[in-house]
Amino acid sequence: MTKHSFAELFGSAPELRVSAPGRVNLIGEHTDYNGGYVLPTVIPQQASIELARRDDRIVRVASVNVGESEPFEYALGAERPRHDWTDYVQGVTWALRQEGFSFGGADLRIESEVPLGSGLSSSAALLVAALRAFRDAYSVKLPDVPLAQLAKRAENDFVGAPVGIMDQMACSLTAGGQALFLDTRTLHYRLLDLPPAMELAVINSGVAHQHAGGDYRTRRAECERAAATLGVFQLRDLTADDLPRVMTLPEPLGRRARHVVTEDDRVLAAVAAIEAGDAEELGRL
């Protein structure tokens, strides 16, 4: 695949280059959209964007990962989903406009090392990087937590993927060697230094997934049905004392609810292990 430079694509040099990392979740699977606790960390692979401002309201964007030689072009205010990778950039400018931020057009070149569809938050890394690019280019006042929330809004409301907030917060806030302990309901968080003795191995299962459809959407809907049946706002509101009641639910709703209750407890135990410097206990969990 030929990787065209920014100058080859747009005829000039970029003004800035930004990036955002992918992430892997240590503990806290399928808890973020249930209002629970999560404990992700970031990986070395990054999504990078080069940008040059324009003096009009046109956005031109190219991704070297898809091998297209011609940039995709659209006008600010005319964003329309195409159901491909361009929706993530269009979603960013759409979300920025929805929040009332002032900014102009731009040329963007995207290059990502984060494997696509591998559960490593390639989409969140791209969204966070794109928001950083526009923030830095146009001096948009957008701190890291609101930036993550805006990335989630773009993915939920423009791309159409019913994701939680974990991925965007991890990509926006976390540095290498840290874990992000996040309460996804309140967005209170702590950055924890991982034990020096800890080494992380991430294995690609080869199974691709999509947040916008398939099993992810189904599982989220099952969790919402379980919460409604149990009379709680979210499964986060259950405790271990509720497990006997949880297991009266028809399957798979019972399994879904039990998982969230026990997984939240595992996150809290993992945080305690990290704070104690106990890599062995963290590995056991």
- Distance CA(50)–CA(18), nearest Å, equals 7
The torsion angles phi and psi of 108, rounded to 5 degrees, stand at -130, 135
Bridge-partner residues for 59, per DSSP?
A: 74, 106
Q: For the chain, how big is the Rg over CA atoms in Å?
A: 20
- Active-site residue numbers? 167
Helices marked H in 119-192:
122-138, 144-153, 166-173
The CA angle 178-150-136, to the nearest 5 degrees, is 75
Structure tokens at 201: 């191995």
Q: Are 137 and 93 in contact (CB under 8 A)?
A: no
- Distance CA(89)–CA(158), nearest Å, equals 10
CA torsion angle 242 246 248 249 (round to 10):
150
- The candidate with the shortest Cα–Cα distance to 152, out of 187, 189, 180, is 187
Sort strands 58-63 and 72-75 into parallel, antiparallel or unpaired: antiparallel
Cα 82 → chain centroid: 20
- Distance CA(140)–CA(216), nearest Å, equals 33
Three-state DSSP at 63 gives strand
| Tokens 């459809």, located at residue | 213
